[in-house]
Amino acid sequence: MDEPSAIEMGSETPDDARGTPVGRRLFLGLLGLGAVGVLTGSSVSNWYQQLAKDDPTGLTALLPGGGGWRYYTVTGDYPSRATADYSLRVSGLVDRPFTLTYDQLTALPPKLLDRDFQCVTGWRVTGVKWRGVRLADLLDRAGVQSAGKALRLTSFDGTYTESLTMSQARLDDVIVAYQLDGKPISSDHGGPVRLYVAPMYGYKSIKWLDGIEVVDKVVPGYWEDRGYDIDAFVGQSNGRNDEHT
C-alpha cells in the first residue's frame, strides 16, 4: 500500500476526470488571491467559506476569519438530512437493538465537552463546545453482549466508516454529538448528528453518523484502511503528522 500522507487525507476528491487533487487547484488559487473578483460576486466571507471547505492543505487557516475549521468530506459532497428524517441505529451484538429519532436522542441526558479539535494533518481549533450523548449510555441501553469487542460506525454519506474498541467507546469523553458551539451541528460539520471522540485525532469523529454496530473485532475504518492508526490518541499515535511540516 502507498504510504498515506496528510495531503492525501485531504485530497480524496478529484476535481476533474484526471483526478487532479483539489489541493493543487486550491494552492494555486491561494497564490492568486486576486482572482476572488471573478467568483460570481459572492461576498468575501462566502468565498472564504467555500475555499475553506475545499481546503485539504490547511492553508486557509493562515487567512483571517475562518475559525480554523476545514470541512472534510471524502465523497465530494456534504449530505444533508433534516432532523425530522434523521435516525440512529444501534445494532449488532446487543441484547436490545434500537433506533432513535433526533428528538429521542436529544432528549437523553446530555454530556457537554469543551476541547480543542485536532486534525492529524496539523490544523487545530481551540475551545470547541460540544453537546451530545455519551456513547457509553447508548451502549448500556442496547446491552452489549460478551462477544461484542468493538464498534463499526457508519455515515449516511455512504462511504466513510470508523472503528473504536469497546473500551475506547466507553470513555467518558466520547459522545454522539448534536450541538457545536451552542448551535445544531451544520451539515458541513456532519450534522445533524456526528461522533465526537475528544481524546483522538479528528478522523475518528465520523460525520453524518447513522449506524453503530457492535462487532466481535475491530474493523478498520476509512482512513485506517489507508494506513492511519486505529488507536488515534492525540500525541500518542503515529499520527502521520510527522510527514509534513
69 binds, among ligand MTE, Mo ion, none (CB under 5 to 8 A by kind): ligand MTE
Q: Does 202 bind ligand MTE (CB under 6 A)?
A: yes
CB 126 within 8 A of CB 112: no
**If we measure between CA atoms, which residue out of 215, 225, 193 comes closest to residue 92?**
215
In this chain, which of 58, 148, 190, 191 binds ligand MTE, going by CB under 6 A? Answer: 190
Q: What is the radius of gyration, based on Cα positions, of the chain?
A: 18
Out of 198, 205, 224, 232, the only residue in the binding site for ligand MTE (CB under 6 A) is 205
Q: Which helix (H) or strand (E) holds 22?
A: helix 22-31
Choose one: 14-22, 44-52, 69-77, 137-145; the region binding ligand MTE (CB under 6 A). Answer: 69-77
Q: Choose the stretch contacting ligand MTE; rule: CB under 6 A; options: 63-71, 95-103, 145-153, 234-242.
A: 63-71
98 touches ligand MTE (CB under 6 A): no
Helix 44-53 and helix 22-31, axial crossing angle in degrees, nearest 10: 150
Judged by DSSP in three states, 92 sits in: strand
Distance of CA 101 to the CA centre of its chain: 21
- Selected from 94, 119, 174, 209, the binder of Mo ion by CB under 5 A is 119
Question: According to the binding rule CB under 6 A, does residue 108 interact with ligand MTE?
Answer: no
Closer to Mo ion by Cβ: residue 12 or 148:
12
Minimum CB–partner distance for residue 199 and Mo ion (Å): 15
Site string (12-51) toward ligand MTE, x via CB under 6 A:
----------------------------------------
Distance, in Å, from the CA atom of 93 to the CA atom of 96, rounded to the nearest integer, reads 9
DSSP state of 171: S
Contacts of residue 18, defined as CB under 8 A and 6 or more positions apart, other chains included, come to none
Question: Per-residue contact track with Mo ion, 186 to 205, x per CB under 5 A?
Answer: ----------------xx--
Residue 25: CB partners within 8 Å, gap ≥ 6? 15, 54
Separation CA 40–CA 11 (nearest Å): 25
Number of residues counted as binding ligand MTE (CB under 6 A): 19
Stretch that binds ligand MTE, among 68-76, 80-88, 163-171, 231-239 (CB under 6 A): 68-76
The Cα-based distances of 38 to 32, 54, 65, 105, 176 in angstroms read: 11, 17, 21, 44, 41
Q: Does 69 bind ligand MTE (CB under 6 A)?
A: yes
Which residues would be at the binding site for Mo ion (CB under 5 A)?
Answer: 119, 202-203
Which residues would be at the binding site for ligand MTE (CB under 6 A)?
Answer: 9, 69-74, 119, 155, 157, 160, 189-190, 202-203, 205-208
